[in-house]
Chain A
């Protein structure tokens, strides 16, 4: 029998029992819809994490001093001071894959303006910090090399800080705020970046020249951290290696000894986060897949009923020349059509569901073509797998017994 007639006959048989076909399909619809929804939502969350991470900075590389064990003695305090101007200069001079690098020194202090105050910290950085962290100025200017050289008492503040301190609608720019006892002039305001992935407010920042913090606030010569950015995402790994090499040589670390610093690239962070969301997606999809199996068993059940009900029809078809294969194909076609139609409806529902979810969670909406194509395959496979035994049972009937069946 040719395929067209096979499909026609199968559809006709299904239409004879519409409500049953629809109920059977429902199992597949729910299964596929949940798989599609889970996979799409998973991909959306991965994408959202990626977007947020990359908004944290451009190909960022963080260099931190690390606590060192040497000969069983914790050199923590000493090694925390391991990053200094020599390192910065050496990297600036020698690194080829590093686009920009800035030191960072942190000091926590109470900010005061008039009667308003705001607890927070002040970060001493270089001007290139804005580029590395993808901050932009909304108004005013960023401090420059000259300010760094002269330990200028100037600062650039984020939106949250501005809101907290300047409650009477003053223009913050040009105003002087106090950090503890030190007065600083506000020269710029940063554009809002909102919260980052970890829920931190990225607008709660105060930036000042790092030299100012070092000399005037803390009286130190080392840095707390270095922030660098690689020339491109692909080169961040190489940049990290390069920095490691340079720092080991400036710190005079012998071969075989451990680094006294730690390097984290944005890429690493991304991979870690992605692998977490990826695992979650797989877990959820696997749970959803169970409902697909249940749907498949529903198909199998109904196909068994159908075969038994139509034993006499099978006997007749065999007696007029249907071969085992024809009977088998006839019932397989029914179960495959059942699961494919269920699959199409399930895909539509799944996409709607994930769209609703993404809108609710403010995640980017991704339609995964692979998931859709895969769903189709899975549906066809479900139809064949769960339709196989009932169809086999039908095809193996003995024509005389089948004809006599009441």
Chain B
């Protein structure tokens, strides 16, 4: 049981738009255990982002129980949620969301700035280590506009890793990237998974989901399928890409 990272029970999220209620999530339950690499699939509007925002403590469910790393989220205040995000969660966005005119290293340091227990020295060391983990230590003084999309997403992943989160959440992290770069990013995620990271990954591309160990299928706010799969190797997929795909 101590291997439970995330447990949700009968989670609902209803948005009020004008006089109408939009039910984005209609009672969802699952558990994610330590070391899993979960992909959350579904058509557009099925509620994937809504779910991930709740898992990332950016949003609160309308009803239902949510536990992350043994903490019940529903009772927490706004500030406590911030602290929880800062210590336990790494978020990767589709549009990278790096701070402009701020170097890669400083971008990666950012989460640690909001943790007063971490000294300046430790902050630098950990940011550097995170950049090394994504293979960008030689780009640490580059600004986001001096990096390719794939490199920017790597910086964003390093930023998500730097606080050593219990889970890495990614919302369409490869959505803005071409196939080759997507596979490179998936190779990185698989490496992180092998190092023991727990990852939940939203995508609507089946070939990306194929690199994960478990797929949860959402449809219209319900889970329609939840099964373990044998992951394909992203590295091999990358190598087998035709060279002509490179233009």
Binding site for B on A (CB under 8 A): 1-2, 5, 12, 16, 312-313, 315-326, 399-400, 403
Chain A hits for B86, CB < 8 A = 320-322
Out of B97, B101, B111, name the residue touching A321 (CB < 8 Å). Answer: B111
B residues lining the A interface (CB < 8 Å) = 53, 56, 58-59, 78-79, 82-83, 85-87, 91, 93, 97, 99, 101-102, 110-111, 113-116, 159, 163
Contact A2 B87, beta carbon cutoff 8 Å: no
Across the interface, A323 reaches (CB within 8 A) one of B59, B83, B93, B102, namely B83
Q: Is the CB of A319 within 8 A of B85?
A: yes
* A1 contacts across to B, CB distance below 8 A: 113-114, 116
Q: Using A5-B113, A324-B78 as known contacts, list a sample of 17 further A-B pairs with CB atoms less than 8 Å apart, ordered by residue number in A.
A: A2-B116, A313-B99, A316-B99, A317-B114, A318-B58, A319-B58, A319-B85, A320-B85, A320-B91, A320-B163, A321-B85, A321-B87, A321-B115, A322-B86, A323-B83, A324-B79, A403-B97
Chain B residues, Cβ within 8 Å of A325: 79
Can you report 8 residue pairs joining A to B where beta carbons are below 8 Å apart?
Answer: A318-B58, A319-B56, A320-B91, A321-B85, A321-B115, A323-B79, A326-B114, A400-B53
List of B residues within 8 angstroms of A320 by Cβ: 85-86, 91, 110-111, 114, 159, 163
> Could you tell me the distance in whole angstroms from the C-beta of B84 to the nearest C-beta in chain A?
8
CB distance A312 to B97 under 8 Å? yes
* Pairs A-B, 7 closest by C-beta atoms: A321-B86, A320-B111, A321-B114, A323-B82, A316-B97, A321-B85, A323-B79
Least Cβ–Cβ distance between A401 and chain B, in angstroms: 10
CB neighbours of B78 from chain A (8 A): 323-324
With contacts defined as CB atoms under 8 Å apart, how many contacts are there between chain A and chain B in the complex? 58
Measured CA separation A320–B86 after assembly (Å): 5
B97 touches A16 (CB 8 A): no
A87 shortest CB reach to chain B, Å: 81
Q: How far is the CA of A316 from the CA of B156 in the complex (A)?
A: 11
**Distance of A313 Cα from B163 Cα, bound (Å):** 19
In the complex, which residues of chain B have a beta carbon less than 8 angstroms from the beta carbon of A400? 53, 58-59
A65 to chain B, nearest CB (A): 80
Asked if A322 and B58 sit within 8 Å, CB to CB, the answer is no
Q: Which residue of B lies closest to A318 (CB)?
A: B82
**Closest partner residue, chain A, to B50 (CB atom):** A400
Instruction: Tell me the bound Cα distance from A326 to B59 in angstroms.
Output: 19
Contact B99 A399 (CB under 8 A): no
Of listed A313, A324, A399, residue having the most chain B CB within 10 A: A399
**Residue in chain B with minimal CB distance to A322:** B114
